[in-house]
Amino acid sequence: MNGIVSPVEIEKQLKLTLERQSDKGVIGTRTSLFNLVIFKRAFVPGPSDSALDFLLGKRPARIIHVDCGYPDDTRVSVFARCYPDRRDRTVCFEEVLINNGRDGKGIDPGMWSPILIHDLPTYLWWLKELVPIPEDFLNALEYGDKMLIYSSFNERVYNENPRLIFKGIAQLIEDEKEIPVIIDFSWVRLFALRKFIARLFDERVDALYGIREIAVKNLQRSEALLLFFWFASRLDWRGGKIDDDFISFRDKKNREVLLRHEVVGSMESGVKIDFSFEGFPKLSIGCDSLGCMEEERSNERVQFKIPGEGEILLREVDSLMHDDAYYEAIRVTLEME
Amino acid sequence: MPLDLPYFFTMVNDFEINATGRSEDLVANPLRYGLRIADEPEPVTLVIFGATGDLTRKKLIPALFSLFANGNISNFKVVGFARRGWSEDYFRDYVLKIINESVLSKAPESLKREFLGKCFYISSTFESEKGYQSIKEIFPLPKNRVFYLATPPVAYEKIITRLGETGLSDEGESKKFFSRIIVEKPFGNDLDSAKRLNSILNRYFKESQIFRIDHYLGKETVQNIMVLRFGNGIFEPIWNNRYVDHVQITVAEKEGIGTRGNYYDKSGALRDIVQNHMMQLLSLVAMEPPIDLRPDTIRDEKVKVLESIKPIPFELLTRETVRGQYSRGIVDGEEVPGYREEENVSPDSTTETFVALRVFLDSWRWAGVPFYLRTGKRMSRRITEIAIQFKNPPHILFREQSLSNTIPNSLVMRIQPDEAVTISINSKIPGYTLEMRPVNMSFRYGSTFGEDPPEAYERLLLDVMNGDSTLYTRRDEIEASWRFITEILEGWGKLGERELPQYRAGSSGPDEAKKLLSLEGRRWRKL
């Protein structure tokens, strides 16, 4: 099916497509649980395809792809993907692909919002530029229950400054009280690392208030910043200054805390973090595929599992909760010089 | 099958730090704020008594491997303890065979090898002190220990006593390590034996160390009963005698007793199913909302239900209870023998394979509402469900139009198979007249989520390692349940073979069970 068609026609075509899928020897098709609208640049490889592959077979959903940057007029096509489970029932995605053309109609909510299944939660996944926050992003928020962003993707692909991404989002949350939940994949990827670090300080809480320096190797810039901002928000550090080489804050006793992001790399290749304290011995930790450990206690490893994008997507579409810790972390950017 | 390794830990034992970053459980660590962390189990040595038996093969090893493969447990040892003179290598081969026949058979070989490296074996009788000493000597670490009694009940006393005598039940003054024991059903065969077993356990283990397992509580859909009731606002207001006419709880099985004749003929359906599984379902469906989700808060509410069950004295026995025994019949198109023809069953056995009860609860909420319980073997269909049957509207407006065509509303929670929640309502049939018919609104677990829920034993084993006893039965629950059941058992004992109707295998039970409801103008839900 090509060209702009009415929502009624799209529904009809989706029904027919699903019926054709269901004829393939399966018993029954599950009812969709939610809508997911993915905004991305056409021809730019992104994480959504592999994440959807992971989700397929686990949650039935209506997926609307809004692919931007087509040279022609906006076009719409529909398709369905089904995956039989062990009981030979299918879990299907009803999918609508909107190629947003030069007329810009495809990204307009008037185009895609009538195709949302009414009364189901709607998740939006924004994989387009975020600096400055685009008008289309703001327009989409009204129709979503949760907005997913992926700051390290934007950093990598669009070369956007992650601090500005966080600042834009934080400002939005500050200004607009009625916006849906916003979650950053990069923040969620840090979960296991944050958990390990938090546990580490259970036994040495006092040392947290003596941190003088943290040096991180092998994270994306956005991930490193999120980690630093997390520390800053939890420990009430103020007066943040950011430089190419380091970030500094003042702790509650007005002492300087230096945060260095020494090597840009992927978390998967192994993260190393060195902590220096006032009044406490240095602490170094490492996390890689074998687990996380303190360097002093290298025989005591705990599992370190970095979630894949599909795992994150699955988790996020099962929940409408927001994460206060994330909001507080990125709010730090609003007070930085 | 893809091996999805979850990175978020289960919500079991979760605690969320409040806005000040403080929690009673922790020294205030501000980094913990907002991190929902279920503490991973501490390193643990799990000793399985009866490691060569069916339960270990069918449930425990697959569950442990699944927990390991999914990253829920990593630092542990599994020590098989049994009479057979197996070597460690032989036990590991046995474990590998079990894994290769399980749903995780396609897990990476390296993962399987790693798991096998954590498996050990002690060949010993349950009496020999030497076997228990070797648990201490050969496996001093991890010092946290869980003992799983996967043996016939006759061995329980010996094992518990030896564990106590050799100091393996001690947790030490400082409680820096734990020692826990899991006791499988049947937990006693009447009130006295259950009390005796509790006394033996309490001689060496504190209540907090004892985990009495009822695998029904590990089932996702059983846990969903509480979520449905207390996680939704629309049900609790009508969950009482003002709106509920009666409740039916059914546990029907198609299978016969198989090779369990020796056990079953001494047990019967009342002990095998009603005393444990059905009493648990009854307490979950009838309990008051707990004030929080701590294990003892929930179990306090459950035990109140069990203690509120009106006893059935001998003079009311034939009115309030029906038992039956299956005779030869056809199940799934195949002729099957009658109960008395089964292997290891006495030809003049009076053991019941079917039970139906009418139960009342002495409580404000449920006064006057009958709970009908039925369970049986060799029934026409395998189904476990709880049906809440609501009363008719106080004023039947559409009497003339459709009286015969409508039904009272019901809410049915199907536990197995095809786990579902269905609400039946009456709806207008399209057309020019005002005719009505019943229709269903259904939520099916399997039709909504594409993932299979974890096996009950996975959840239950993880809970023990985490010290969460919510899904385990407490001493007072067991004793309250046995108190009610034992009175019926004693009454049936006096009746002997009288009032023990036969029912055809493949049917829905004896006709007498139907009368239990029909005399009051009600009827059992169709199987």
Band of the pLDDT at B405, cuts 50, 70, 90? low
Residue from B3, B5, B106, B447 whose CB has the most chain A CBs within 10 Å, to mutate: B447
The token pair at B79 is: 């020590």
Per-residue pLDDT of A40-81, as tens digits, reads: 999 899 999 999 999 988 888 999 999 999 888 889 998 888
Per-residue pLDDT of B90-108, as tens digits, reads: 999 999 999 999 888 888 8
Would you say A161 and A336 are in contact if contact means Cβ atoms under 8 Å apart? no
Residues A325, B8: C-beta atoms closer than 8 Å: no
Per-residue pLDDT of B431-484, as tens digits, reads: 777 777 778 888 877 667 777 778 889 999 999 998 889 899 999 999 999 999
Residues A311, B4: C-beta atoms closer than 8 Å: yes
> Which of the listed ranges A99-103, A128-132, A259-263 does the model predict with the highest average pLDDT?
A128-132
Q: Which DSSP letter does residue B366 get? A: T
Cis ω for the linkage preceding A132 (within 30 of 0): yes
pLDDT given at position A292: 87
Per-residue pLDDT of A165-201, as tens digits, reads: 999 999 999 998 788 999 999 999 999 899 899 988 9
* Number of Cβ atoms within 10 Å of the Cβ of A159: 9
Q: Which DSSP letter does residue A179 get? A: -
Residues B35, A83: C-beta atoms closer than 8 Å: no
Chain A residue closest in CA terms to B32:
A198
Residue from A32, A93, A193, A205 whose CB has the most chain B CBs within 10 Å, to mutate: A205
Residues A324, B447: C-beta atoms closer than 8 Å: no
- From B450's Cα to the closest Cα of chain A, the distance in A is 4
Strand order in the sheet with A256-264: A238-242, A246-250, A256-264, A211-219, A271-277, A283-288, A291-294
Assess A204–B contact: CB distance below 8 Å, yes or no: no
Residues B30, A234: C-beta atoms closer than 8 Å: yes
Identity of the residue in B29, B74, B448 whose CB atom sits nearest the CB atom of A303: B74
ipTM: 0.85
pLDDT given at position B91: 96
Per-residue pLDDT of A137-146, as tens digits, reads: 999 999 999 9
Identity of the residue in B8, B32, B74 whose CB atom sits nearest the CB atom of A198: B32
pLDDT given at position B342: 92
Query: Looking at beta carbons, which residues of chain B come within 8 Å of A187?
Result: none
Per-residue pLDDT of B240-269, as tens digits, reads: 999 999 999 999 999 998 888 888 998 999
Chain B residue closest in CA terms to A316:
B8
Residues A30, B448: C-beta atoms closer than 8 Å: yes
Assess A87–B contact: CB distance below 8 Å, yes or no: yes
Region A130-142: mean pLDDT is 94
Higher pLDDT, B361 or B106: B361
Query: Looking at beta carbons, which residues of chain A come within 8 Å of B448?
Result: 30-31, 33, 60
Residues B449, A59: C-beta atoms closer than 8 Å: yes
pLDDT given at position B26: 44
Query: Looking at beta carbons, which residues of chain B come within 8 Å of A315?
Result: 8
Assess A252–B contact: CB distance below 8 Å, yes or no: no
B277 is catalytic: yes
- Collect all residues from B whose CB is shorter than 8 A from any CB in A: 4-8, 21, 26-35, 37, 40, 71, 74, 446-452
- From A137's Cα to the closest Cα of chain B, the distance in A is 27
pLDDT given at position B155: 92
Per-residue pLDDT of B184-199, as tens digits, reads: 988 899 999 999 999 9
Residues A58, B7: C-beta atoms closer than 8 Å: no
A25-62: string of b/e by CB count within 10 Å (b at 16+)? Answer: ebeebbebbbbbbbbbbeeeebbbeebbebbbbbbbbb
Per-residue pLDDT of B299-331, as tens digits, reads: 999 999 999 999 999 999 999 999 999 999 988
pLDDT given at position B407: 80
Assess A297–B contact: CB distance below 8 Å, yes or no: no
Would you say B441 and B266 are in contact if contact means Cβ atoms under 8 Å apart? no
Residues B31, A303: C-beta atoms closer than 8 Å: no
Domains of chain B from N-terminus onward = 7-215 (3.40.50.720), 217-394+446-454+474-518 (3.30.360.10)
- Within B333-454, strands assigned E span 334-336, 354-359, 371-376, 383-390, 410-416, 420-428, 436-444
Residues B29, A205: C-beta atoms closer than 8 Å: yes
Per-residue pLDDT of B9-29, as tens digits, reads: 322 233 333 333 333 444 488
Radius of gyration of chain A (CA): 22
Higher pLDDT, A250 or A290: A250
- From B30's Cα to the closest Cα of chain A, the distance in A is 6
pLDDT reading at B4 higher than 50: no
Chain A residue closest in CA terms to B442:
A31
Q: If DSSP codes are grouped into helix, strand and coil, which group holds residue A296?
A: helix
pLDDT given at position B15: 34
Residues A58, B451: C-beta atoms closer than 8 Å: yes
Identity of the residue in A83, A191, A202 whose CB atom sits nearest the CB atom of B26: A202
Contacts of A7 (CB under 8 A, 6+ apart): A114, A115
Tell me how far apart the alpha carbons of residues B312 and B380 are, in angstroms, rounded to a whole number.
Answer: 29
Percent of chain A with pLDDT over 90: 57
Query: Looking at beta carbons, which residues of chain A come within 8 Å of B450?
Result: 30, 57-60, 83, 85, 91
Radius of gyration of chain B (CA): 25
